[in-house]
Structure 1
Amino acid sequence: MTQIGTNIKKLRSVKGLSQQAFGELFNLTRGNISSYEEFRAEPKVSVILQIAKYFSIPVAHLLEKKLTVNEILNFEDHFTEDSAQLAIKNMDPVHFLNRETIQQSSDNKISIDDLPMFYFPITTKNQVIAIEHNGLIHHPAAFPFEENSILFFEKLQLNILHTLDKHFGLYIKGSDYFFGTYEVKNKQIDLLLNDWKKQSFSVEDMGCFWKLHGKYEKIA
Structure 2
Amino acid sequence: MSFFGKNIKKIRGVKGLSQQAFADLFDLKRGTLGAYEEGRSEPKIDTIINVANYFSIAIDDLLTAELTVNQLLRFNDKLTLSPEDLERDQFAEVPCITERTTDSYIEYYDNEAFINDLPKLSLPLNPEKDFRGFTVNNLEMTSHDKGLYPKDVVIGEKVPSSVIKKLNNGTVVLCLCDEALILRRLYSTPKGIVLRADHKNLDDIKISLKDVREMWRVRYVFFRRMPEFSTDFEDKLAFLEMQMRELRER
**What TM-score comes out, normalization by structure 2 length?**
0.42
Which of these two proteins has the greater Rg computed from alpha carbons? 2
TM-score (norm 1): 0.46
**Higher RCO by CA contacts (8 Å cutoff, separation 6 or greater):** 1
